[in-house]
Structure 1
Amino acid sequence: MSKRAALCLGIAALGLAGLSGCAGEPAAPPATVFVTLPPSAAATPTAPVEPPAAPTPSAPPAEAAPPVVVEIEPNDPAAPVVPGPAVDLGAVEGAKGPATAGGDGALLTYTVVSGDAFFEIAQRFDLPQQQLLKMNPSIPSLGTEIYIGQIINLDWTTTR
Protein backbone atom coordinates (compact mmCIF):
# COMPACT_ATOMS: atom_id res chain seq x y z
CA MET A 1 0.00 0.00 0.00
CA SER A 2 1.36 3.44 -0.90
CA LYS A 3 1.99 6.14 1.67
CA ARG A 4 -0.75 8.30 0.17
CA ALA A 5 -3.32 5.49 0.44
CA ALA A 6 -2.24 4.80 4.03
CA LEU A 7 -2.66 8.49 4.84
CA CYS A 8 -6.18 8.55 3.37
CA LEU A 9 -7.09 5.39 5.29
CA GLY A 10 -5.78 6.93 8.53
CA ILE A 11 -7.75 10.15 7.99
CA ALA A 12 -10.91 8.16 7.26
CA ALA A 13 -10.42 6.15 10.47
CA LEU A 14 -10.03 9.35 12.47
CA GLY A 15 -13.19 10.75 10.87
CA LEU A 16 -15.17 7.66 11.83
CA ALA A 17 -13.79 7.76 15.34
CA GLY A 18 -14.86 11.39 15.62
CA LEU A 19 -18.39 10.52 14.44
CA SER A 20 -18.77 7.68 16.90
CA GLY A 21 -19.99 10.17 19.51
CA CYS A 22 -22.98 11.00 17.31
CA ALA A 23 -24.59 7.67 18.19
CA GLY A 24 -24.84 8.66 21.84
CA GLU A 25 -21.81 6.73 23.12
CA PRO A 26 -19.05 8.71 24.78
CA ALA A 27 -16.16 9.19 22.37
CA ALA A 28 -12.55 8.61 23.27
CA PRO A 29 -10.40 11.72 23.17
CA PRO A 30 -8.99 12.20 19.67
CA ALA A 31 -5.40 11.17 19.09
CA THR A 32 -2.92 13.58 17.56
CA VAL A 33 -1.33 12.20 14.41
CA PHE A 34 1.62 13.78 12.61
CA VAL A 35 2.09 12.81 8.97
CA THR A 36 5.15 13.68 6.93
CA LEU A 37 4.95 13.35 3.17
CA PRO A 38 7.97 13.13 0.93
CA PRO A 39 8.40 16.09 -1.39
CA SER A 40 6.88 15.62 -4.83
CA ALA A 41 8.82 15.90 -8.03
CA ALA A 42 10.48 19.25 -8.53
CA ALA A 43 8.67 21.72 -10.72
CA THR A 44 10.18 22.20 -14.13
CA PRO A 45 11.09 25.80 -14.87
CA THR A 46 9.48 27.42 -17.89
CA ALA A 47 10.65 30.34 -19.97
CA PRO A 48 9.03 33.66 -19.04
CA VAL A 49 6.29 34.78 -21.39
CA GLU A 50 6.95 38.09 -23.08
CA PRO A 51 3.98 40.48 -23.25
CA PRO A 52 2.91 41.38 -26.78
CA ALA A 53 4.45 44.54 -28.14
CA ALA A 54 2.24 47.61 -28.16
CA PRO A 55 0.97 48.44 -31.65
CA THR A 56 2.50 51.48 -33.21
CA PRO A 57 -0.04 54.13 -34.15
CA SER A 58 -0.38 54.49 -37.90
CA ALA A 59 -2.78 57.44 -37.84
CA PRO A 60 -3.21 60.27 -35.36
CA PRO A 61 -6.06 59.71 -32.90
CA ALA A 62 -9.39 61.22 -33.87
CA GLU A 63 -10.41 64.34 -32.01
CA ALA A 64 -13.24 63.91 -29.55
CA ALA A 65 -16.52 65.34 -30.76
CA PRO A 66 -17.77 68.32 -28.77
CA PRO A 67 -20.56 67.45 -26.31
CA VAL A 68 -24.09 67.88 -27.58
CA VAL A 69 -25.96 70.59 -25.70
CA VAL A 70 -29.72 70.12 -25.56
CA GLU A 71 -31.86 72.97 -24.41
CA ILE A 72 -34.84 71.80 -22.43
CA GLU A 73 -38.07 73.66 -22.90
CA PRO A 74 -40.92 73.24 -20.43
CA ASN A 75 -44.05 71.52 -21.65
CA ASP A 76 -47.03 73.60 -22.52
CA PRO A 77 -49.54 73.69 -19.69
CA ALA A 78 -52.31 71.12 -19.96
CA ALA A 79 -55.45 72.29 -21.66
CA PRO A 80 -58.21 73.05 -19.18
CA VAL A 81 -60.94 70.46 -18.89
CA VAL A 82 -64.05 71.84 -20.50
CA PRO A 83 -67.11 70.58 -18.64
CA GLY A 84 -69.79 68.96 -20.70
CA PRO A 85 -72.68 66.55 -20.40
CA ALA A 86 -72.12 62.87 -19.74
CA VAL A 87 -72.67 60.45 -22.62
CA ASP A 88 -73.39 56.79 -21.83
CA LEU A 89 -71.09 54.65 -23.99
CA GLY A 90 -72.59 51.43 -22.60
CA ALA A 91 -71.86 49.15 -19.66
CA VAL A 92 -68.24 47.99 -19.42
CA GLU A 93 -66.30 45.85 -16.95
CA GLY A 94 -65.93 48.06 -13.87
CA ALA A 95 -69.02 50.20 -14.64
CA LYS A 96 -72.11 47.98 -14.97
CA GLY A 97 -74.56 49.88 -12.75
CA PRO A 98 -77.74 51.66 -13.87
CA ALA A 99 -77.83 55.31 -14.90
CA THR A 100 -80.87 57.56 -14.54
CA ALA A 101 -81.80 60.24 -17.05
CA GLY A 102 -83.98 63.34 -16.80
CA GLY A 103 -87.01 64.13 -18.94
CA ASP A 104 -84.80 65.77 -21.58
CA GLY A 105 -82.61 62.63 -21.85
CA ALA A 106 -79.64 64.14 -20.02
CA LEU A 107 -77.94 61.71 -17.63
CA LEU A 108 -78.42 62.62 -13.98
CA THR A 109 -77.02 59.88 -11.71
CA TYR A 110 -75.26 56.54 -11.67
CA THR A 111 -75.63 53.88 -8.94
CA VAL A 112 -72.45 51.98 -8.00
CA VAL A 113 -72.69 48.17 -8.11
CA SER A 114 -70.27 45.42 -7.02
CA GLY A 115 -67.05 45.44 -9.08
CA ASP A 116 -67.29 49.10 -10.15
CA ALA A 117 -64.27 51.40 -10.23
CA PHE A 118 -64.32 55.19 -10.43
CA PHE A 119 -61.98 55.34 -13.43
CA GLU A 120 -64.15 52.93 -15.47
CA ILE A 121 -67.30 54.86 -14.51
CA ALA A 122 -65.70 58.08 -15.81
CA GLN A 123 -64.72 56.32 -19.05
CA ARG A 124 -68.18 54.79 -19.53
CA PHE A 125 -69.75 58.26 -19.43
CA ASP A 126 -66.98 59.89 -21.51
CA LEU A 127 -65.96 62.21 -18.67
CA PRO A 128 -62.44 63.07 -17.48
CA GLN A 129 -61.88 61.84 -13.92
CA GLN A 130 -61.14 65.41 -12.79
CA GLN A 131 -64.52 66.61 -14.07
CA LEU A 132 -66.38 63.71 -12.43
CA LEU A 133 -64.56 64.44 -9.14
CA LYS A 134 -65.51 68.15 -9.35
CA MET A 135 -69.13 67.14 -9.95
CA ASN A 136 -68.95 64.84 -6.88
CA PRO A 137 -66.93 66.62 -4.16
CA SER A 138 -68.26 64.20 -1.51
CA ILE A 139 -66.27 61.30 -3.04
CA PRO A 140 -63.03 60.94 -1.02
CA SER A 141 -59.51 59.86 -2.04
CA LEU A 142 -59.69 60.79 -5.72
CA GLY A 143 -62.40 58.21 -6.30
CA THR A 144 -60.56 55.22 -4.84
CA GLU A 145 -63.18 54.84 -2.10
CA ILE A 146 -66.59 54.27 -3.64
CA TYR A 147 -69.11 51.83 -2.21
CA ILE A 148 -71.98 49.70 -3.48
CA GLY A 149 -75.23 51.66 -3.68
CA GLN A 150 -73.50 55.06 -3.76
CA ILE A 151 -75.12 57.60 -6.09
CA ILE A 152 -72.69 59.43 -8.40
CA ASN A 153 -73.77 62.70 -9.98
CA LEU A 154 -73.55 62.78 -13.80
CA ASP A 155 -75.24 66.18 -14.28
CA TRP A 156 -72.43 68.60 -15.10
CA THR A 157 -74.51 71.63 -14.09
CA THR A 158 -74.78 70.54 -10.41
CA THR A 159 -72.61 69.05 -7.69
CA ARG A 160 -73.52 66.35 -5.21
Structure 2
Amino acid sequence: MRRRLGTAAASAGLAALLLSGCVAAPVATPPPVTITATVTATPTPTPGPPSSAPAPAPAPAPEPVPNAPAPVVEWGPAYDTGSRDGATGTPVLDGNGVPASYTVVAGDSFFDIAQRFELPQQQLLRMNPQIHDFGETVYIGDVINLDWTKTG
Protein backbone atom coordinates (compact mmCIF):
# COMPACT_ATOMS: atom_id res chain seq x y z
CA MET A 1 0.00 0.00 0.00
CA ARG A 2 2.80 2.23 0.50
CA ARG A 3 3.57 2.11 -3.03
CA ARG A 4 0.21 3.26 -4.05
CA LEU A 5 0.37 6.26 -1.79
CA GLY A 6 3.73 7.15 -3.21
CA THR A 7 2.39 7.02 -6.71
CA ALA A 8 -0.61 9.08 -5.78
CA ALA A 9 1.55 11.68 -4.13
CA ALA A 10 3.83 11.81 -7.11
CA SER A 11 0.86 12.21 -9.43
CA ALA A 12 -0.54 15.06 -7.32
CA GLY A 13 2.82 16.77 -7.29
CA LEU A 14 3.13 16.41 -11.05
CA ALA A 15 -0.42 17.80 -11.55
CA ALA A 16 0.34 20.75 -9.29
CA LEU A 17 3.50 21.42 -11.24
CA LEU A 18 1.67 21.29 -14.58
CA LEU A 19 -1.22 23.46 -13.45
CA SER A 20 0.99 26.08 -11.92
CA GLY A 21 1.44 27.61 -15.38
CA CYS A 22 -2.35 28.19 -15.63
CA VAL A 23 -2.51 30.73 -12.84
CA ALA A 24 -3.34 34.22 -14.08
CA ALA A 25 -0.75 36.92 -13.71
CA PRO A 26 -1.58 39.52 -11.08
CA VAL A 27 -3.49 42.53 -12.50
CA ALA A 28 -2.20 45.98 -11.74
CA THR A 29 -4.88 48.08 -10.07
CA PRO A 30 -5.22 51.66 -11.29
CA PRO A 31 -4.64 54.45 -8.82
CA PRO A 32 -7.82 55.80 -7.16
CA VAL A 33 -9.60 58.69 -8.91
CA THR A 34 -11.12 61.56 -6.98
CA ILE A 35 -14.27 63.20 -8.41
CA THR A 36 -15.47 66.53 -7.09
CA ALA A 37 -19.09 67.50 -7.86
CA THR A 38 -20.23 71.10 -7.68
CA VAL A 39 -23.95 71.82 -7.39
CA THR A 40 -25.31 75.07 -8.78
CA ALA A 41 -28.89 76.17 -8.20
CA THR A 42 -31.09 76.73 -11.30
CA PRO A 43 -32.32 80.33 -11.36
CA THR A 44 -36.10 80.68 -11.30
CA PRO A 45 -37.57 83.08 -13.86
CA THR A 46 -39.33 86.11 -12.51
CA PRO A 47 -42.74 86.73 -14.03
CA GLY A 48 -43.07 90.00 -15.88
CA PRO A 49 -46.13 92.11 -16.47
CA PRO A 50 -48.83 90.43 -18.60
CA SER A 51 -48.67 91.33 -22.27
CA SER A 52 -51.43 93.70 -23.29
CA ALA A 53 -50.73 93.37 -27.03
CA PRO A 54 -53.22 91.11 -28.87
CA ALA A 55 -51.95 88.04 -30.62
CA PRO A 56 -50.97 88.75 -34.24
CA ALA A 57 -53.66 87.97 -36.77
CA PRO A 58 -52.94 85.04 -39.07
CA ALA A 59 -51.70 85.92 -42.52
CA PRO A 60 -54.47 86.09 -45.13
CA ALA A 61 -54.78 83.18 -47.54
CA PRO A 62 -53.12 83.80 -50.89
CA GLU A 63 -55.34 84.61 -53.83
CA PRO A 64 -56.10 81.54 -55.93
CA VAL A 65 -54.28 81.38 -59.22
CA PRO A 66 -56.34 79.86 -62.01
CA ASN A 67 -54.81 77.20 -64.15
CA ALA A 68 -53.78 78.18 -67.62
CA PRO A 69 -56.43 77.12 -70.12
CA ALA A 70 -55.78 73.83 -71.80
CA PRO A 71 -54.19 74.26 -75.20
CA VAL A 72 -56.52 73.68 -78.10
CA VAL A 73 -54.86 71.59 -80.74
CA GLU A 74 -56.66 71.95 -84.03
CA TRP A 75 -56.38 69.15 -86.51
CA GLY A 76 -55.13 69.92 -89.98
CA PRO A 77 -57.33 70.54 -92.97
CA ALA A 78 -60.43 68.48 -93.56
CA TYR A 79 -59.93 65.33 -95.61
CA ASP A 80 -62.90 63.90 -97.51
CA THR A 81 -63.14 60.14 -97.00
CA GLY A 82 -66.11 59.93 -99.33
CA SER A 83 -69.86 59.72 -99.08
CA ARG A 84 -71.27 57.70 -96.17
CA ASP A 85 -74.57 57.22 -94.38
CA GLY A 86 -75.31 60.49 -92.54
CA ALA A 87 -73.05 62.57 -94.81
CA THR A 88 -74.01 62.06 -98.45
CA GLY A 89 -73.69 65.62 -99.82
CA THR A 90 -70.96 67.03 -102.04
CA PRO A 91 -68.40 69.37 -100.40
CA VAL A 92 -67.21 72.66 -101.91
CA LEU A 93 -63.44 72.49 -102.53
CA ASP A 94 -60.94 75.36 -102.38
CA GLY A 95 -58.29 76.06 -105.05
CA ASN A 96 -56.04 73.28 -103.67
CA GLY A 97 -58.77 70.63 -103.72
CA VAL A 98 -59.21 70.71 -99.93
CA PRO A 99 -62.84 70.66 -98.65
CA ALA A 100 -63.82 74.21 -97.63
CA SER A 101 -67.53 73.80 -96.81
CA TYR A 102 -70.34 71.28 -96.84
CA THR A 103 -74.05 71.83 -97.30
CA VAL A 104 -76.32 69.58 -95.22
CA VAL A 105 -78.67 67.33 -97.24
CA ALA A 106 -81.57 65.14 -96.10
CA GLY A 107 -80.44 62.37 -93.73
CA ASP A 108 -77.19 64.05 -92.65
CA SER A 109 -76.04 64.27 -89.04
CA PHE A 110 -73.36 66.55 -87.61
CA PHE A 111 -71.47 63.60 -86.11
CA ASP A 112 -71.32 61.75 -89.44
CA ILE A 113 -70.18 64.91 -91.24
CA ALA A 114 -67.32 65.25 -88.72
CA GLN A 115 -66.43 61.58 -89.24
CA ARG A 116 -66.49 61.89 -93.04
CA PHE A 117 -64.04 64.81 -93.01
CA GLU A 118 -61.84 63.32 -90.24
CA LEU A 119 -62.39 66.22 -87.84
CA PRO A 120 -63.19 65.92 -84.14
CA GLN A 121 -66.77 66.94 -83.50
CA GLN A 122 -65.70 69.53 -80.89
CA GLN A 123 -63.35 71.16 -83.37
CA LEU A 124 -66.06 71.24 -86.02
CA LEU A 125 -68.36 72.88 -83.48
CA ARG A 126 -65.69 75.53 -82.70
CA MET A 127 -65.32 76.16 -86.43
CA ASN A 128 -69.11 76.58 -86.78
CA PRO A 129 -70.53 78.70 -83.93
CA GLN A 130 -73.83 78.97 -85.82
CA ILE A 131 -74.52 75.28 -85.06
CA HIS A 132 -76.48 74.93 -81.80
CA ASP A 133 -77.28 72.06 -79.43
CA PHE A 134 -73.77 70.57 -79.79
CA GLY A 135 -74.57 69.57 -83.34
CA GLU A 136 -77.68 67.62 -82.38
CA THR A 137 -79.81 69.81 -84.63
CA VAL A 138 -78.71 70.52 -88.20
CA TYR A 139 -81.08 71.46 -90.96
CA ILE A 140 -81.14 70.77 -94.68
CA GLY A 141 -79.32 73.63 -96.38
CA ASP A 142 -77.07 74.53 -93.40
CA VAL A 143 -73.58 75.34 -94.65
CA ILE A 144 -70.86 73.87 -92.46
CA ASN A 145 -67.39 75.41 -92.57
CA LEU A 146 -64.62 72.82 -93.06
CA ASP A 147 -61.72 75.29 -93.40
CA TRP A 148 -59.92 75.20 -90.05
CA THR A 149 -58.21 78.53 -90.80
CA LYS A 150 -61.59 80.30 -90.93
CA THR A 151 -64.12 80.23 -88.12
CA GLY A 152 -67.68 81.44 -88.28
Query: TM-score, normalization: structure 2?
Result: 0.52
- Using the alignment, how far apart are the partners of 2:103 and 2:74 within structure 1? 24
Measured after TM superposition, the shift of residue 115 of structure 1 is: 0.4
1: CA distance, partners of 2:147 / 2:72 = 19
Paired-residue identity, %: 57
Q: Deviations over 1:39-65 (max 9, x none)?
A: xxxxxxxxxxxxxxxxxxxxxxxxxxx
- The 2-side partners of 1:149 and 1:85 are apart by 22
The alignment yields a C-alpha RMSD, in angstroms, of: 1.6
Match of 2:117 among 125, 143, 148: 125
Any gaps of 5 or more consecutive residues in structure 1? 1-77
Shift of 1:84: 1.4
User: Per-residue deviation at 1:80?
Assistant: 4.9
Distance 1:124 1:131 in 2: 14
**CA distance 1:159–1:79, shift in 2 (3 Å):** closer
Q: Distance in 2 between matches of 1:128 and 1:141?
A: 16
SS in 2 for 1:139: coil
Larger Rg: 2
Pick from 82, 86, 96: which aligns with 2:88? 96
User: Structure 1: which amino acid aligns with 2:100?
Assistant: L
Counterpart for residue 134 of structure 2: 142
Report the number of matched residues: 83
Deviations 1:3-36 (A, max 9, x none): xxxxxxxxxxxxxxxxxxxxxxxxxxxxxxxxxx
Unaligned runs of 5+ in 2: 1-69
Aligned mates of 1:88, 1:136 — CA distance in 2: 18
- Aligned to 1:108, the other structure's residue is in SS state strand
The alpha carbon displacement at 1:104 in A equals 1.4
Query: What TM-score results when the alignment is normalised by the length of structure 1?
Result: 0.49
Amino acid at match of 1:102: D
